A and B are shown apart, each in its own frame.
Chain A
Amino acid sequence: MNLNKNNYRYDFPIMANWINSNAKVLDLGCGDGELLNYLKKERNITGYGIEKDPDKWLKSLKTGINVLQVDIEAGLPEFEDNSFDVVILSKTIQSMHNTQKILDEMLRVGKQVIVTFPNFGYWRDRIQSIQGVMPKSEELPYSWFNTPNVHLCTIKDFDDLCKSNKYKIVDRLVLTDTKSVRFFPNLLGALALYNLVKR
């Protein structure tokens, strides 16, 4: 698998691999619509994106995707049960207040759920914590006083959350600088990608 495709984020091909062709996809926090457009091209998907930020929303609109400006903290009341093949929450879960609610809602609406997040157990973050400062990195570029991130977690934390809920992990992939991390992923992995279904 070529993880370093030009112009696209290196995690996109991994998500595309988990998604069937012609799937109906809902992307929560779709930003400028890059992922949905990538999946359209690679997997011929149809679907919708949700983005509450007005500037990002406009960028999405300009690329032609179906973008809805609603706040997902309130859940997904606009969507029926099992109305999507895949619901994606890419690098957004750490900034959500109602973490568990949105995961439940995603599994209600989608048959399959993809969640990605920066791993707070990554050794570079741990070193900064030991040095007595809030960690900053490529995946976590914010300072403590202006970060939108309120619920950062480690891979172990997320595994535990899945275990104690009805989330079944179908696939899990951990990356650092586009490379897959097999050993000590919670220590050596910067980005975690999960493919979940209802248990």
Chain B
Amino acid sequence: MTSKKNIGIVKPETFKSLIPLRLKSGKILKEYNLIYETYGTLNKKKDNAVLVCHALTGNHHLAGRHSSKDKYPGWWDNLIGPNKPLDTNKFFVIGINNLGGSDGSSGPKSINKQTKKPWGADFPIATVEDWVNSHEALITSLNISKLAAVIGGSLGGMQVIQWAIRFPEKIKHAVVIAAAPNLTAQNIAFNEVARQAIITDPDFNKGNYHEKNTQPKKGLRIARMLGHITYLSDSVMESKFGRKLKNKNYQYNFNTEFEIESYLNYQADKFAKEFDANTYIRMTKALDYYDPANGSKLNLSKVFKKIKSKFLVISFTSDWRFSPDRSKEIVKALLDNNVDVKYAEITATSGHDAFLMEEPRYHTILKSYFNKML
């Protein structure tokens, strides 16, 4: 039988690096930890490893559950597992929590060995380039000299691009989903609103909220609400919520009237409870800073010159934060360098979030692509 199965219970591991990492900002992390999870088995030739890069609010926990009591599985459980599109019967899949994260890798919540206190505001801003350099150290520690593929959506897709540029010899396939070669002004603007919401929250305490035992929840809530709106499309919001009311009639007060308000507030509460504010503002910074071509479309072709991996690029029609046109910029620069590339533009209503959904055509494409890989 080839029916889809779930991963089951998984346990994260920690990679401890004592080799200093020079960050793009010039700062140096003397040592750092990366928490990661693996699924499937690394084969004898060690050529079946796939690295999955996470987006803004993701982490190393891609699939399966940490305990049978977990309500939800990892964030890409619909993609990864036995007989799923990224089939763990064939592939050895790796998920890493990026530096600056809050789920176990070195970040604002972890302890600064020098001060023996949480890093808080002092944790340096890590960029996409820094993440990829740290990923490579971890991959090397697993004795993997070449990844079968690196895959990621959104900010994860940027890391895939960076992998292909920075380590052309160490990656066979690059799967770039709902991504862009850099952020547009509009995208940076959204990120700045989110950051301002957090930074100006009185409970933020310049990033050292742990000292006062507070959490800038108000700011995080607003940041999440804003983000959530932009990750969806107008049409999917209309079809899901429209103007549906919570009560029968208008209440003529400032409590939630419409179902969309209630949904956003629910999402905001959930997020503010789970996510670390310092991590959030750092992840948005990594998005803003990434620009391998320094703002020039012509440069992107030059930057791609040394690429050796094959590419699959996927975009979604209703994604207005990382629109299909931005994916086509990536494709164009690859074509300029005669890189093997496949490009699909998937008709989907759910906006940027489509890359996390189990849209049939999307998953069929990924399954077919991975099937041909080994």
Contact = CB atoms under 8 A, between A and B. Distances in A.
A64 interface: yes
A61 B365 contact: yes
Nearest to B347: A54
Interface string A43-54: 000101000001
Contacts of B343: 67-70
A122 interface: no
A83 B338 CA distance: 10
A37 interface: no
Interface in B159-185: none
B372 A64 contact: yes
B209 interface: no
Interface in B338-372: 338, 340-347, 361, 364-365, 368-369, 372
A78 B335 contact: yes
Q: Which of the listed residues A24, A61, A70, A79 has the most CB atoms from chain B within 10 Å of its own CB?
A: A61
A151 B346 CA distance: 28
Interface residues of A, number: 19
A61 B336 contact: no
A48 B368 contact: no
Given A62-B372, A78-B332, A78-B335, A68 B341 contact: yes
Given A58-B364, A66-B340, A70-B328, A48 B335 contact: yes
A117 interface: no
Interface string A74-87: 00011110010000
Nearest to B336: A80
A120 interface: no
A24 B337 CA distance: 13
A194 interface: no
B331 interface: yes
A148 B219 CA distance: 53
Given A78-B328, A78-B332, A80-B336, A66 B368 contact: no
Chain A binding site: helix, strand, loop or mixed by DSSP?
mixed
B267 to A, nearest CB: 31
Nearest to B339: A66
Contact of A61 (B338, B342, B345, B346): B342
Interface string A160-177: 000000000000000000
A199 to B, nearest CB: 27
Contact of B335 (A46, A67, A79): A79
Nearest to A65: B342
A51 B77 CA distance: 31
Nearest to A50: B343
Nearest to A47: B338
A70 B345 contact: yes
Nearest to A64: B372
A67 B313 CA distance: 11
A57 B338 contact: no
A153 B188 CA distance: 50
Q: Which of the listed residues A24, A46, A70 has the most CB atoms from chain B within 10 Å of its own CB?
A: A70
Contacts of B336: 80, 83
A79 B344 CA distance: 17
Contact of B338 (A46, A58, A64, A77): A46
B368 to A, nearest CB: 5
Nearest to B332: A78
Contacts of B342: 61, 66-68
Contacts of A83: 335-336
Given A46-B338, A62-B372, A78-B331, A69 B345 contact: yes
A61 B344 CA distance: 10
Contacts of B335: 48, 78-79, 83
Interface string A81-103: 00100000000000000000000
A195 B343 CA distance: 28
A164 to B, nearest CB: 31
8 contacts: A24-B338, A54-B346, A57-B344, A64-B372, A66-B342, A67-B343, A70-B343, A78-B328
Which 10 interchain pairs have the tightest Cβ spacing?
A68-B343, A78-B332, A69-B345, A69-B344, A62-B368, A66-B340, A67-B342, A61-B368, A78-B335, A69-B343
Interface of B: 328, 331-332, 335-336, 338, 340-347, 361, 364-365, 368-369, 372
Given A24-B338, A46-B338, A62-B372, 5 more contacts: A58-B368, A61-B365, A68-B342, A78-B332, A80-B336
Interface of A: 24, 46, 48, 54, 57-58, 61-62, 64, 66-70, 77-80, 83
